[in-house]
Amino acid sequence: MTLLSTLATTLILATASGAAAPPSIQIQDFADAFVEADKAPGIAIGVLDESGRIKTYCAGTLTAGGTRPITENTIFETGSVSKTFAAVLAHMLEQQGELSLSDPVNIHLPDGVQVPAFNGNEITLWHLATHTSGLPRVPARLDSGDSYYPFTVEELYEFLPNWKPDRAPGESYSYSNLGYGLLGLVLELNQETSFEELAKQHILRRLKMRNTGCSFDETFSERLATPHHGTTPTTIRPWTQPTAGAGGIKSTARDLMLFAKANLSDSRTPLHRSLRACQVPRVSKKTRANRVGLGWHVSGESSEPVIGHSGATNGFRTYLGFMPGRNRAVVVLANSNSSVDHLGRYLLTPASTTPPDYLPSPDVDISEYAGRYQHDDGSVFVVGILDGQMTVRLNDQRPATFIPIDEDLFLNRTVDARLQFERDARGRVRTLVLKQAGSVNTFRRKP
């Protein structure tokens, strides 16, 4: 092993996304910590473990200062997770011969509403579904240039014919809420029914997602979470036609876990075939490691991809991710504008994601690890204790502080490096493994 001049370049972190199981610290503690840190009044977490069991963990209340608790059946806005439903619906309708993803979008729009082509190249439904249409993220008002979202059908029909594309469709990836709103509208026009009814008919009823939809009557009022900015309540914005396909789905932790589990199923029903087809990468973003399917974002190695989508509306945040190769899935829903993406990714891929800084640390006896550990090349790590914290020094480098994040696992946030301690059959700490940047080095404890 070649030792470099700083601890940051010497410690080694394993990068395999599925290299470790979810942390042994209770996930309920993660939910409690999110609320206690005032990230949101309430949060709901769903986890599918490798045995196929769904577990949910909730904390907080529907409204800041309220008394009604968040449960696995609390209804949240899911934001852009709705796009994955729109993509599945489009693929299913294609399989039924109702439309084709290769259709130019203009053939599905009313007379007089035509999306301009770029040098004769028309936008297709496939371009909408893969964020390669070139349409802007949100439309801009013709008079002022100000962006607005959500928008009405009339505003959309006014915007589209006057929009001027700056590149050919399919040329590059550019995330577009407008594009997915338009895709959802095309599905509605094609089937002459609402996006919500399409979702219920083709997806929700088949998966028994009974608490999912775009609108809920007063009988659901006691289960509807209130949106917040931080812990301050805010107003709900409408996500009806023509924006439902981009962000109109509302759901619960339990229901979204049923959707996630269905995406991992090898069932041969038409729905499950479309679910799997939408996960196939179609377009690269900036790197090969970040790709786009139909609706889904795909990251990681092709042999073990991480598939997911996040969502954000005015006062809600959502994360849904899964790993087909490990039958693992995570859903996180919060009733505030504080992102839950980091927490979701950490719960899904703890070996390659730094824990959020608000998560609790396990109670460990650091004195068990104190001592000297030697590498085969003679390099020595000295593990000590200072002010109740673990300090580590490699040879003559400056000491660094590590915090516990799991049993026998410690993290230095500054350099994103980990120390994994291993025990012998009698439970005594005998080995220190340093992990960072894709390599691993082992040090053995000296008497």
Q: Residue 43: name the closest of 296, 342, 258 by CA.
A: 342
How confident is the model over 6-31, as pLDDT tens digits? 443 344 333 334 445 455 457 898 99
- pLDDT at position 144 over 80: no
154-168, 228-242, 346-360, range with the lowest pLDDT? 346-360
Domains (ranges, CATH) in the chain? 7-14+361-445 (2.40.128.50), 22-351 (3.40.710.10)
Q: How confident is the model at residue 239 (pLDDT cuts 50, 70, 90)?
A: confident
What pairing do the DSSP bridges indicate for beta strands 380-386 and 371-374? Answer: antiparallel
pLDDT digits (tens, 9 = 90+) for 416-433: 788 999 999 999 999 999
* Distance between first and last Cα of the chain: 23
Mean pLDDT of the 423-445 span? 91
Distance CA 52, CA 74 (A): 22
Per-residue pLDDT tens digits for 33-90: 999 999 999 999 999 977 889 999 999 999 999 999 999 999 999 999 999 999 999 9
320 contact partners, CB below 8 Å, separation of at least 6: 78, 81, 84, 256, 259, 260, 308, 309, 310, 311, 329, 330, 331, 344
Classify residue 394 as exposed, middle or buried by CB count within 10 Å of its CB (0-12, 13-18, 19+): buried
Contact 188, 198 (CB under 8 A): yes
User: What is the rounded distance in angstroms from the CA atom of residue 41 to the CA atom of residue 230?
Assistant: 8
Global pTM value: 0.84
Instruction: Provide the pLDDT for residue 13.
Output: 32
What distance in Å separates the CA atoms of residue 395 and residue 66, rounded to the nearest whole number? Answer: 55
Does the pLDDT value for residue 349 go beyond 70?
Answer: yes
